[in-house]
Amino acid sequence: MTTTRATETFRRFRRLRSSEAMRSLVRETRLSPAGFVYPLFVVPGEGVRTEIASMPGQYQISIDEAVREAEEVVSLGIGGVLIFGLPSAKDEAGSEAYASDGIAQRAVRALKTAQPDLLVITDVCLCEYTSHGHCGIILDDGSVDNDRTIDLLAQVAVSHVEAGADLVAPSDMMDGRVAAIRSALDRSGFESTPIMSYAAKQASAFYGPFRVAAESAPQFGDRRGYQMDPANSREAMREIESDIEEGADIVMVKPALTNLDLIARARERFDLPLAAYNVSGEYAMLKAAVAAGYLEEERATLELLTGIKRAGADIILTYHAKEAARWLA
C-alpha cells in the first residue's frame, strides 16, 4: 500500500546526496593541501633515511634527503614544512638548539636555497637538544626554570630566522615565551617574521611515537608541570588569549582529535588563523588499524582530517600531508 504524505511533513535531505557530483557541489568543508604542514625530522649525516618504528612511513632524514622531501612537498601543493632537528650531541642547556651551525639552522638554509618559495617553519624548543629531555633549564629540584628558559628560546628563534626560517613555532609551553620571542625578533630586525604559538598544548599520552622520532623523551619525571592538563578547557582559552596578547600571529591547539571541542571554541572566540596538530599517536593509531585491516586508509584519513577542519582549524599539521595531498589530487 502506498502512503500519501504531505510534502511539508518531512524534508528530503537525500536529494542532495544522490551522486558524487551533487555531494561535491554542496560540500561545506573542503580540504586543501595548501592548508597542510608536513613535519620533518632532520638528523646529521648524508644519505640518511631511517624509518621511525613508532610511525610507519615517517623517517629520520639527513639534510640532503630533506631537500628531496621539500621538492615533493612543493610539487604536491602542501602549505609548508615544520623542521625538528636532532643534534649530534646534547647537553643540559640544549646549546645546539641556538647554535648558528645547528642541525635545524643548516636544514633551513638548505631548504630555502633549494626551494625559496617553500614555507619553512621551525619548532622552537629545547627538548630535542637537552641531555635530560625536558623543554628548558632544570633547577635543583628537578623543575624547569621558566624565565631562564624563555631567554634561550628567544635565542633559538632568532637563530632560526637568521638562517632563513619564514615562521617560528614555540612548542615549549613556558609562560611568557611568545612575548620574549617577539621582542627578540623585533630587536634583531625581524619585525615581519610571524610566530605560530603552540598555545593550548596538552600533556598528552598521544605524543609517545613522536618522542621516539625526535629522541626527546624526558630522562626523569614528565612534562605535566608546564604542559596543560587535558581536562581544562577554560584554561586553554586563557592560554590562547595570553599568547595573542603577547604577539602570536597564529595559535595552535594540540593534540587535534582529542580537542575538537577546543578547536571549535577557539574558532568562535578568536579571529587569528588557527592551527591544529594531528599528532604522532593519532597517526600511529590510524596506521595500526589500517595494517590490521580494520580501516580503509584513504577514507579514514580524509575523514579524520575533514573532522579537524570542520571543527575550525585553518591549518593542519599532519604526518598524513603527502598521502592526503595525493588523494585529494
Q: Give catalytic residues, as residue numbers.
A: 201, 254
Eight-class DSSP state of 4: P
Count of H-run helices and E-run strands, the chain: 11, 10
Can you tell me the distance from the alpha carbon of 135 to that of 145, in angstroms, rounded to the nearest whole number? 10
Please give the Cα distance from 242 to 264 (Å, whole number). 18
Among the listed residues 54, 61, 10, 325, the one whose alpha carbon sits nearest the alpha carbon of residue 206: 54
Q: Where are the alpha helices (DSSP H) in the chain?
A: 20-26, 63-75, 103-114, 146-163, 177-187, 208-213, 233-246, 260-269, 280-291, 297-311, 321-328
Which of 113, 114, 16, 100 shows the shortest CA–CA distance to 72?
114
Residue 194: left if φ>0, alpha if ψ -120 to 50, beta else—which one?
beta
CA-to-CA separations, 222 to 41, 97, 127, 228, in angstroms, rounded: 22, 21, 12, 12
The single residue listed with the C-alpha cell 595531498 is 325
Rounded to whole angstroms, the Cα distance separating 300 from 294 reads: 10
Alpha-carbon gap, residue 96 to 85, rounded angstroms: 9
Q: List the beta bridge partners of residue 123.
A: 169
